[in-house]
Amino acid sequence: MNRKEHWETVYTKNKDTEVGWYQADPEVSFSLIEKVSPSRGSVIDIGGGTSRLPEKLLDHGYEKIAVLDISTAAITRAKARLTERAGHIEWIVADITEVETLGQFDIWHDRAVFHFLLNPADRKRYVELATLTLPTGGYLIIGTVALDAPPRCSGLDVCRYDAPSLAAEFSPAFRVVEETSHIHTMPSGKLQHYIFLTFERM
Ligand SMILES: C[S@@+](CC[C@H](N)C(=O)[O-])C[C@H]1O[C@@H](n2cnc3c(N)ncnc32)[C@H](O)[C@@H]1O
C-alpha cells in the first residue's frame, strides 16, 4: 500500500475520535501559533487531517488559513464538519513531498506529519518548500513524537526526535526560538510524548 492509500484507508475506516492523535482541542498548537502571531497572520496547516485547528483559528480571527493533507477522505470530512465556514479556508489535497509551491504564509504548522518522512530526500524537499513558503521572520511550528515514544504510529515507522536532532533538520534556514514538550493522551488512554519546536525563518 502506498502512502496515499494508507492514509485514505485510515480515514475511511476510523472515526476522528478513534485515531491515536485525536484531540478535541488543539490547545498546544493554537497557543504556539498565537504566541508568535498575535497579529493574526496567515497559517498553513501541513497534514492537518481532520484536526480542529482550522475552526479554532477562525474563531480567533485568523483570516487566511490553508489546510493541506494527502488524504481526500480527511479533507472531505474536515470540510463537511465546518459546513459553510469551510469556504473561508483553502483546502489542498497533496503529498507535501511532491508540492512545488504553496504561495506565501506567515506561519507553517505541522503536528505529527514530518516524523513520517523516513527518506532524507523527502525531508530535504519538505524543508526546501517551507523555506520557500515562509518569508524571513515567518514561523515554522512543528510537533513530532519524542525519542521515548513508540517507534510506530498509525501502523507506520516514524523518525523520533529530540530538540537538537529536529533543529538540525531545519538548520541553517531556520533557528529555534522555543521548545515545548507535550504529553498527548490518546483516545485509548495511553500517553504519547511529543516535542514541539518553534522556528524563525532566517
Ligand atoms: C498523525 S496525523 C496528524 C493529523 C493532524 N495534524 C492532527 O494533529 O490532528 C498525520 C496526518 O498527515 C497526513 N499525511 C501523512 N503523510 C503526508 C504527506 N506526505 N503529505 C501530506 N499529508 C500527509 C495524514 O493524512 C494525516 O492526516
CATH number at residue 120: 3.40.50.150
Q: Can you give the pLDDT at residue 1?
A: 82
Q: What is the mean pLDDT of the chain?
A: 96
80-93 tens-digit pLDDT:
999 999 999 999 99
**Mutual orientation of helices 163-170 and 120-133 as an angle, nearest 10°?**
70
| C-beta 47 within 6 A of ligand 1 | yes
Closest residue by Cα to atom 12, ligand 1, is 47
- Of the CA atoms within 13 Å of residue 110, those in its CB half-sphere come to 23
Nearest-atom index, ligand 1, CA of 22: 9
pTM for the full predicted model: 0.98
- What domain range includes position 177? 3-201
Cβ atoms within 10 Å of 89's Cβ, excluding its own: 22
| C-beta 54 within 6 A of ligand 1 | no
115-136 tens-digit pLDDT:
999 999 999 999 999 999 999 9
Q: Can you give the pLDDT at residue 40?
A: 83
Q: How many domains does the chain have?
A: 1
How many A from CA of 150 to the centre of ligand 1?
Answer: 17
38-53 tens-digit pLDDT:
778 899 999 999 999 9
